Amino acid sequence: MDELMTKTPVQLRNATLGDIPATVLRPSYARDRLTPGIVHIGMGNFHRAHQAWYLHRLMQQGAAQDWAIIGAGVRAGDAVMREKLLAQDCLTTLIELRPDGTSAEICGSMIGFLPVEAENAALIAQMADPAIRIVSLTVTEGGYFVNPATGSFDPTSPDIVHDAANPEAPRTAFGAIVAALRLRRAAGVGPFTVQSCDNLRGNGDITRDTVLGLARLSDPALADWIAQNCTFPNSMVDCIVPATGAAEIAAARAFGIDDAAPVTHENFRQWVIEDKFCAGRPDWDRVGATFTDRVHDYEAMKIRILNAGHQVLANAGDLLGLVTIADCMADADVLAFWRKVEATEIVPHVAPVPDMQPMDYMHLIERRFSNPAIRDTTRRVAFDGSSRHPGFVLPILRDALVADARLSGLALVEALWARMCAGTREDGSEIEPNDPQWDALRAQAQLARSRPAAWLEQQAIYGGLAQEPRFARAFTQWLDLIWQDGARAALALYTADM
């Protein structure tokens, strides 16, 4: 590595792949011969380290050459990523962070990035192309227009109302999907599969509900056609992928590569998929993906133990000034808190899957979270708590109420989130806005300082949980203690009987 750092890094492009140091794995396939089969909406780090990598590894075997990815985005910020990736021919440096070292690989399965437009004309046209057989998405857990209190499609969202009234000029990814399917039906082209790759339990079912719900608002007959012809496979995706900053760009340069948008990731990936593809699919199982009809069991294990476990750590960690998830795991108080909540309040509500018991999976996650090479920040993990807590934590709490099981630690998790949303750490430093609903959350968190029940009155988040005496009482006691004596005192009290 030291030798590489003495040389001028190579600007990442198709034409320079041969100049990249031999220690870096590169595409062995002819990228100019690839043809598209997938449009992916939401070209963030996770997609490029996960789904794009599986396809790339399949291409390395000489397969899936007609399944290349065309990138797309529906937010103004996606245009920045588009500019970076097009400047390097849509290549991405993937840097694997192991506890004992690093390695790098160039991923080349993406071959284009559509213009980011207010009315999504280019996106609609590309998805209407018969060559496209899968449209996949990573648009974050909060991007599916689901009412968190009911768990169902929300037709009252302003963007959904707009798309229903303007179906040929939609703002959302789902409006663009409906518009493209309308064109395909009219042309007799046939359907495509819509494949969510976001961390949502039943992500395929949720995607189906959103697409059909939107279509019915403007064209019920089209909605019926989509329901009869399109498929929406559920899947579980897993790989810890930190955000990219100066350190990640420097890491790529240390491998001799000048990449404006490299991606670092842990040395673990998992992709479990329901085999429901109406227009064909790549053979991802040849490179480690799992096709199964038990996706829900796998995703329940992952979403509860890993994703909910992330929320157990992130709010406490941010309040205490711990920068990364690995820092949280190295903190004795936070680690003890995480272990107890996981073992006594989360794992009991998780079913086993083939070859993995819930406690064994918890130990696997502990090792992954403790990897010091992964600079996964508490801020990133805590982002969008207004979607992540209803999606990851509160379903477990509801199960605990039904089963009359332990829930004090889960109530403490919610109290720590409420305290974090007040906007200051325990050292007095400011917590910058970290949620799409930050202003509303902060106002409610400030009210909850003197009246904890105010936090639970957020109907869109907690629904009827505010009326559950056992939970409301525990939450109130924890939040009062946190404000009076601090987060560490609350953690210590919770773990005192371990």
pLDDT at 355: 86
Give the integer Cα–Cα distance in Å for 350 and 298.
9
Please report, to the nearest 10 degrees, the dihedral formed by the alpha carbons of residues 109, 114, 118, 121 taken in order: -120
The domains located in the chain, with CATH, are 2-293 (3.40.50.720), 296-495 (1.10.1040.10)
Give the integer Cα–Cα distance in Å for 306 and 362.
8
Of 238, 240, 288, 236, nearest to 264 by C-alpha is 240
- Using pLDDT thresholds of 50, 70 and 90, give the confidence band for residue 216: very high
Q: What is the pLDDT of residues 350-367, one digit of tens each?
A: 999 988 999 999 999 999
Average predicted confidence (pLDDT) for the chain: 95
pLDDT at 147: 86
Does the pLDDT at position 477 exceed 90? yes
Local structure of 77: helix, strand or coil? coil
Of 17, 11, 88, nearest to 257 by C-alpha is 11
Cβ neighbours of residue 473 under 8 Å, at least 6 residues apart?
none
Give the integer Cα–Cα distance in Å for 23 and 177.
41
User: In this structure, which amino acid lies at residue 375?
Assistant: R
Residue 168, strand partner residues: none
- Using pLDDT thresholds of 50, 70 and 90, give the confidence band for residue 2: very low
pLDDT at 71: 98
Mean pLDDT of 9-13: 97
Of 120, 114, 102, 140, nearest to 39 by C-alpha is 114
Q: What is the pLDDT of residues 373-384, one digit of tens each?
A: 998 899 999 999
Across 41-45, 147-151, 253-257, least confident range: 147-151
Of 38, 49, 56, nearest to 93 by C-alpha is 49
Q: What would you report as the CA-atom Rg of the chain, rounded to the nearest whole angstrom?
A: 23
Cβ neighbours of residue 187 under 8 Å, at least 6 residues apart?
128
pLDDT at 150: 80
Q: Which residue has the higher pLDDT, 150 or 25?
A: 25
pLDDT at 277: 98
Residue with tokens 């992952």: 302
pLDDT at 6: 47
Q: What is the pLDDT of residues 286-301, one digit of tens each?
A: 999 999 999 999 999 9
CA atoms within 13 A of residue 433's CA, in its CB half-sphere: 8
Q: Can you give the pTM of this predicted structure?
A: 0.83
Q: What is the pLDDT of residues 131-190, one digit of tens each?
A: 999 999 999 888 999 987 788 999 999 999 999 999 999 999 999 999 999 999 999 999
pLDDT at 336: 98
Mean pLDDT of 374-399: 94
- Using pLDDT thresholds of 50, 70 and 90, give the confidence band for residue 77: confident
Query: How much of the chain exceeds pLDDT 90, in percent?
Result: 92
pLDDT at 486: 97
